[in-house]
Amino acid sequence: MPRRPRRPTRVDTHLHLSRWWNDLPRTGYRPDLDYTVRGLLAEMDRNAIEYGVILQLHEAPSVAEGLAEARRSSASANGRLLPVSTVDPTRGPEEVRRALALWERDPTLKGVKLYPGYQSFYPHDPRVEPILEFAHRRNVPVLVHQGDTLTPGGLVKYARPIELDEVAVRYRDVTFVLCHLGNPWVHEAAELVYKNENVYADTSGLLAHPSAPLFDRMVAQARRVVEQAVVTVGRSDRFLYGSDWPLEELRVAVDLIESLDLPAEDRAKILGGNARRLFHLPDRRPGSS
Ligand SMILES: [Zn+2]
C-alpha cells in the first residue's frame, strides 16, 4: 500500500503552563481559555503539534516548586510536554547551587531558561557561569528571554541580544536560544544567529494581545521580521517556532510560520525539525519509524 506523505513533527518551543502565571483573564489570548494540561494538549492536537517545551516562570516561589510542577505536567501529558527550569542568579550562589543540585538529579530536564530583563543581570554576569557550565555538562540549551518584558517593571537594557554575544563566544559548546527573536532588536538577534553557530532564535512573542487594534498588521509585520531574519542568516536551521502560549493562540503562531515566503522545507524545519534536533526528540507519532 503506498504510504501517504507524512507531515513533519511540529514542536512548540515556547509555552508557559504554570499556576504562577499572572492574571490569565487579562493576559491569555482568550479570557475563557482552558489553561490546563488537557486544554493545552487539545490545542496542540488541533494544530498537529507533537511536543511542547514548557518554560518555567520566574514568578514560581522556588526552583523546586517550579520544577515539580513542570514534572507533573510532563508526566500527565505522557512526555509530550518537556520541562525547562529557571533560576534567578541574583539571589546568590547558594540559590544557584540548590538549583544545580535539583537539575543534576532530573534526567527529564530539557533546558534552562534565564530572565535577564526581569531579574536585572547580564548574561555575561559571572553569577551565571555555573548555570552555563551545567548546560555544557548536560548538553541542554540555555533559553534566554530577550527584548521587551511583559511588565513595565522590567529593564530591557539587560535583555538585548548583543549582551549575549560574549557568552556565546566564550561558551562555544553551549547552545543558546534568543527568545522572541530579541523583539524589537530583531536585526541584532539575526546578527547573533548569523555569527554564532551555537545561537538559535525562537519566533514567540512577536505579537501583542489579539485584542490590539492593529493586530492584523502586527501579524503581517512579524511575518516580514522572521523572513528578514532568516534571509540575513542565509539558513533556516537555527530558527524555532514558538508561541508564548497562553499569550498567543497556537493557530495564529503556527500560521505565522506557515505563511512565511520561504520554501516548504524551511518552514517545516522552523516548525519542528530544528527543535527535534536541539532537544533530541524522537518522532513518536503513530505510524512513524
Ligand atoms: Zn515566554
DSSP 234-278: T-STTEE----BTSS-HHHHHHHHHTSSS-HHHHHIIIIIHHHHH
**Which residue has cell 500500500?**
1
Contact between 226 and 239 (Cβ < 8 Å): yes
| Single pTM value for the model | 0.94
Q: How far is the CA of 65 from the centre of ligand 1 (A)?
A: 19
**pLDDT at residue 3, as a whole number:** 58
Q: Is 124 helix (H, G, I), strand (E, B) or coil?
A: coil
**pLDDT at residue 2, as a whole number:** 56
**pLDDT at residue 99, as a whole number:** 97
Please provide the distance, in angstroms rounded to a whole number, between the alpha carbons at the two ends of the chain. Answer: 16
Strand partners, 55: 84
**pLDDT at residue 4, as a whole number:** 56
Q: How far is the CA of 244 from the centre of ligand 1 (A)?
A: 5
**pLDDT at residue 7, as a whole number:** 72
**pLDDT at residue 282, as a whole number:** 86
Containing 226, the helix (H) or strand (E) segment is helix 215-233
Residue partners of 267: CB distance under 8 A and separation at least 6: 236, 257, 258, 260
The DSSP symbol for 144 reads: E
25-30: long-range contacts (C-beta < 8 A, 24 or more apart)?
A: 27/150, 27/209, 27/246, 27/247, 28/246, 28/247, 29/209, 29/210, 29/245, 29/246, 29/247, 29/248, 29/249, 29/252, 30/210, 30/249
Q: Which residues surround ligand 1, an ion (CB under 5 A)?
A: 244
- CB atoms under 10 Å from CB of 112, counted, come to 25
Task: Give the span between the Cα atoms of 179 and 260, in whole angstroms.
Answer: 19
Q: How far is the CA of 56 from the centre of ligand 1 (A)?
A: 9
**pLDDT at residue 240, as a whole number:** 98
**Sheet with 49-55: strands ordered across:** 10-15, 49-55, 81-86, 111-114, 142-144, 176-178, 199-202, 239-240
Q: How far is the CA of 289 from the centre of ligand 1 (A)?
A: 32
Which parts of the chain have pLDDT scores under 70?
A: 1-6, 284-289
Q: In the structure, how many helices (H) and strands (E) does the chain have?
A: 12, 8
Fold of 10-278: TIM Barrel (3.20.20)
**pLDDT at residue 221, as a whole number:** 96
Domain ranges of the chain: 10-278
Task: Give the span between the Cα atoms of 237 and 262, in whole angstroms.
Answer: 13
Q: How far is the CA of 287 from the centre of ligand 1 (A)?
A: 33
Q: How far is the CA of 5 from the centre of ligand 1 (A)?
A: 33
Q: How far is the CA of 14 from the centre of ligand 1 (A)?
A: 6
Q: How far is the CA of 242 from the centre of ligand 1 (A)?
A: 9
**pLDDT at residue 151, as a whole number:** 84
- Asked whether the bond before 246 is cis by omega within 30 degrees of 0, the reply is yes
